[in-house]
Structure 1
């Protein structure tokens, strides 16, 4: 039976630590959350697990589903999807819109721009229908992905977050998890679509001029490195935003929700993200590829496997400090062969001087195949004697 195994490490203690209190942030937002993806550290959480209507932030899941299907080759960016008369009638003037016309055949790429940049409710439904046949079938895909990502407190009843008597709900923590998965799993598509500042689609009545709308992301152009993600607003939900920015290799994801005004959302979002970068800094603890320790292996050609840092590992600390750090390797062991090099098989759990615990991934340094016949026999022989 596997058990939790922990090995103490003292290599990260510093001789002359500089301590500081955990940075404090005050916000009128009823719900707020921030995570540092570089370290996996939650920098701030205020009612982060309260279920709430996501409004247009639900569109992040619609985009995630589309990105995943594109990556699998099941749909193409240049694939056209027709606007049905029924969909146009219901959505052409219902909330935010891309101004799609009846019978138009925008491509998947066009619709993604209409969703991310313009927050088009019509674009979401056309994309959902083009992918799954109807919106209800598409929400099944959304909820399958939510389950896969571990969004335990989220459910999607529409493709665009339009109020649906409480069937659609999320939490700030789940939204941040969804944002992180989008950024990590589809980096090229994320960069291609989420930071577009404006987009034109449709024509004005009479003059027939292009209709250009600006991206509502309040961080774009105001916070260095900002590149996504999605705003949301309904009377029930208030004003919310899930955003991300990267500075000097350090990426933060933030969520605010339940604010009273458009301007209040913009001000709080900018203030929150600037606090995250200004009040905290990254302290490197392990360089990429460095061996940190080893883990026991059962049923393998080797009885142990070396554990290495899969990337430069850093912890978040109050800016201007160098707190004492202590670490331990934790894993469910013994690990079962076969194991592939690069598999996430253990964690490095770091405790800072102020008691904050941060968990960083460790990977197998090499492949460990299953034991051959003679080694299995040898291990079985010694197992008889409890050795």
Structure 2
């Protein structure tokens, strides 16, 4: 999700946590936000960025799930049993498969597992940081700074609720097989059985991820996701004062999101939604489609009028090939922009004759390049 549509219907809802955001994944709509752009310490939510790198390394074939990694003394000392922090409790100098380290980092929030994975990619955790930074920018995290692979305290390590939601969305969409690990309830390593720390799993309908975090500076953080009736929401709460507040506020946000909004289908996947003008073509216009189901999330019982326009820089010059992006569909809810999606040519338009081009040029002198759409 390159951007998130702004919140519209949160006036009657409040949360006690310092920072929060609630996002509908299907429409990329922000349903609620509170100080969502304030920079805060991520705590173990920082491991989401570590895992996004690891998942991409696996997808690119540079890291294999069955590959064994030696647990270095550094990973053991700073993230294992001697650290007295969240740990997988992998023994120093032992060999652990990448797939087990992933479970250790995700389910048990093991700092030893996170450091070992960073070392598997880059040799050292320090060398892993530029890889994290590059990947974060590619995903669209423009403000987040990650100074370690674990989320342990660092004065420079900062993120926002909005960017954590963006990161969570990226993981869910891009790595569905690996994302399934976030739903696993427990993991045993070295004879030590540990439960997943996400309080939503098994207790909230449809919850299947993602991660919790705590350090004194950050408070209690959580990034979670749940699916109900085909709708997926992502919730991020940061700065809660207790485990109970973190859990309660995340649940409250999800409950509110699922019950307060309804999805409306505007255009079907290949439906022709209008036309854009073509200059120099055998035809003076070309039909366009969004190429996917266009849906809008609306507050239940809302009365704002929904309208749509095709916006493009034109006229589009011939020849035009089917599938070429030619503009975007702008959907308005009342006076507010609710949704923008690209539109694509639904047919080929070949170059026209000289006479056709001359006539079209004269006609376009008196027209604009915003076309109304008959629906919604």
TM-score in terms of structure 2 length: 0.84
Q: What is the CA distance between 1:119 and its match in structure 2?
A: 0.7
- Return the alpha-carbon distance in structure 1 between the equivalents of residues 94 and 282 of structure 2: 60
Q: Which residue is 1:189 aligned to?
A: 178
8 A contact 1:39–1:360 mirrored in 2: no
- Indicate the residue corresponding to 1:57 in structure 2: 45
CA distance in 1 between counterparts of 2:316 and 2:343 reads: 12
Q: 1:364 aligns with which of 327, 344, 347?
A: 344
Match of 2:119 among 111, 129, 139: 129
Q: Kindly tell me: are residues 21 and 148 of structure 1, through their superposed partners in 2, closer, same or farther at Cα, counting changes over 3 Å?
A: closer
Answer yes or no: is the 8 Å Cα contact 1:111–1:127 preserved in 2: yes
Q: How much has 1:188 moved relative to structure 2?
A: 2.4
| TM-score (ref. length: structure 1) | 0.81
Q: In the alignment, which of 127, 134, 140 is matched to residue 130 of structure 2?
A: 140
Q: 2:58 aligns with which of 63, 67, 70?
A: 70
Summarize deviations over 1:204-234 as a string: whole Å, max 9, x none: xxxxxx2111111122122222111111110
Partner residue in 2 for 1:117: 107
Classify the secondary structure of the residue corresponding to 1:251.
strand
**Cα distance, 1:60 vs. partner?**
0.5
Q: Which has the higher contact order (CA 8 A, sep 6+)?
A: 1
Distance 2:115 2:284 in 1: 54
Deviations 1:72-130 (A, max 9, x none): 11111111111012321222133111111112221111111111111111100000001
What is the deviation of 1:48?
A: 0.7
Partner of 2:216: 235
Counterparts in 2 of 1:124 and 1:364: CA distance versus 1, 3 Å: same
Gaps of 5+ in 2: 1-7, 365-376
Task: Determine the structure 1 residue equivalent to 2:373.
Answer: none
**Structure 2: distance between partners of 1:60 and 1:338:** 45
Summarize the alignment of residues 1-387 of structure 1 with structure 2, pairs less than 5 Å apart.
24-93=12-81, 94=83, 95-165=85-155, 167-191=156-180, 193-202=181-190, 210-295=191-276, 306-321=287-302, 323-331=304-312, 346-353=327-334, 355-365=335-345
Q: Distance in 1 between matches of 2:347 and 2:138?
A: 26
The one-character-per-residue Cα deviations of 1:298-352 (angstroms, maximum 9, x if unpaired) are 8999986543233322111123557531112234556689988667664332222
User: Cα RMSD between the aligned structures?
Assistant: 3.1
How far apart in 1 are the matches of 2:314 and 2:135?
A: 29
Any stretches of 5+ residues in structure 1 without a counterpart?
Answer: 1-19, 203-209
